[in-house]
Amino acid sequence: MKSASSLAWPASALPRRQFLKSLAAGAGLLAAAPPLLAADAALPDLSDRLKAPYRGPNVIIVRFGGGARRLETIDPEHTYAPFLCHDLAPRGTLYKRMNIDSFTPSVGVDTSHGQGTLYILTGKYEKYHDIERKFLAERFEAKVPTIFEYLRKAYDVPDYQALIVNGEDRTNEEFYTFSNHHLFGVNYRSNTLSLYRYKTFLLREQLQAGRWEGKVLEKKRAELAKLEKIDFRAEERNGQCAEIKQFWGRWRKYYGETGFVNPRGDRLLTELSIRAIKELRPKLLMVNYNDCDYVHWGNLSHYTKAVSVMDEGLKQLVATVEADAEYRDNTVFVIVPDCGRDNNPLAEVPCQHHSNSRSAHEIFALLYGTGIEKGVVVDKPVDQISVAGTVGAIMSFAAPHAESTILQEAIA
């Protein structure tokens, strides 16, 4: 096992070996009982102690989404992600047979983007429903804490260093920043970078500057009210924190106000993430790539091109970390899809995921970086919800409501 100093385990916390032993004990309960029992495992509770500053390793979760199959990603003969498959995988630990909801009996969850994101964030499968039970709506709230909440309750980490970078087409996922768990919740939330957040920031700034008057002013106020209404959890009616407002101010100065200069789609997420690393110095960062979902329009090339765009973005993120002295030897990447996709070759529209087909449940995970075993390929079934507990083990916080084993093979 890696030494305590190599993973910057704080002096105020339990010894790292004892911590991982406790996590393993929880995993043993899971192996011997139904998944729900893992939430009752006796794990260390650091929440009432004096918070220590977090020293690392930092963790960057790359949601290789929206919806990516093993075939076009980790299969060397068919990959559209050569950096992921041929360069990064040999430098880390690859889980070739990660699944969504492989339990017997299964939880019966949905294989989609918001749901998969919450499975990753919470370490628990839930059958999610829109908070107002609207048909086809996806405004979800987690019942158990997210990894961001665990981190911020255990350590002195501000919300602008616990970040989700989100796509412009899935604004519901803007608000998966905290659970409704009574011991965690909004006080330990993450923060979000997205085009939606920038547009809202920009319109507020323009209104405060008195740019418009008369009917134009009324129209602009209505536009802001419409943007604010998207925030169904009413987190930030007065805007984001000062550090992120300053971030948007620099973005505005560089890219302007039109939206025609800055990147779009998943390339936008890469740019936001790189700038966040350089300017906000996040401890825990989740990048929610999603362009693969354009395959719903019916053209397979939308999917394969999006896999390539994500792969190039991943390459840029790794290069950014490796060029930064504070991040280079103190960062772990966790690359995992939100869901898989259908592999029916006769389907009129290829690569769907809403039908809950077997291949929509079949994904992968790759861990790479500080304290992660190199050149390891794990060819046994593991579950997507193992990611949350594993991030907890890497970052040395307890995640008692995560319901699966940690990915022990990856931890050097």
% of the chain surpassing 70 pLDDT? 88
d(CA 230, CA 360): 29
Range among 26-40, 129-143, 279-293, 352-366 rated most confident: 279-293
Is the pLDDT assigned to residue 216 strictly greater than 90? yes
User: Per-residue confidence at 66, pLDDT binned at 50, 70, 90?
Assistant: confident
User: How many residues are recorded in the chain?
Assistant: 412
**Mean pLDDT on 136-145:** 89
Is the pLDDT assigned to residue 9 strictly greater than 60? no
**What pLDDT is recorded for position 238?**
75
Is the pLDDT assigned to residue 127 strictly greater than 80? yes
Q: What spatial distance separates the first Cα and last Cα of the chain, rounded to whole Å?
A: 6
Residues 332-349 pLDDT 10s? 999 999 999 988 776 777
Residues 221-257 pLDDT 10s? 999 999 998 888 877 777 899 999 999 999 999 999 9
Provide the mean pLDDT of the chain: 88
Residues 385-398 pLDDT 10s? 999 999 999 999 99
Is the pLDDT assigned to residue 3 strictly greater than 80? no
Residues 150-186 pLDDT 10s? 999 999 999 999 999 999 888 888 889 999 999 999 9
**What pLDDT is recorded for position 330?**
98
Token pair listed for 332: 């772990």
Residues whose CB falls within 8 Å of the CB of residue 29, separated by 6 or more in sequence, listed in order: 37, 38, 40, 41
Residues 178-189 pLDDT 10s? 999 999 999 999
d(CA 6, CA 17): 13
User: Per-residue confidence at 49, pLDDT binned at 50, 70, 90?
Assistant: low
User: Per-residue confidence at 2, pLDDT binned at 50, 70, 90?
Assistant: very low
Which candidate, 409, 404, 406, 333, places its Cα nearest to that of 377? 409
User: Per-residue confidence at 8, pLDDT binned at 50, 70, 90?
Assistant: very low
**What pLDDT is recorded for position 200?**
95
d(CA 369, CA 371): 6
Is the pLDDT assigned to residue 45 strictly greater than 60? no
Is the pLDDT assigned to residue 21 strictly greater than 60? no
Is the pLDDT assigned to residue 108 strictly greater than 70? yes
Is the pLDDT assigned to residue 365 strictly greater than 80? yes
Higher pLDDT, 283 or 38: 283
Is the pLDDT assigned to residue 20 strictly greater than 60? no
Is the pLDDT assigned to residue 44 strictly greater than 50? no
How many CA atoms lie less than 13 Å away from 261 in the CB half-sphere?
A: 8
**Mean pLDDT on 2-12:** 35
d(CA 144, CA 59): 21
**Mean pLDDT on 356-374:** 94
Residues 281-335 pLDDT 10s? 999 999 999 999 988 887 889 999 999 999 999 999 999 999 999 999 999 999 9
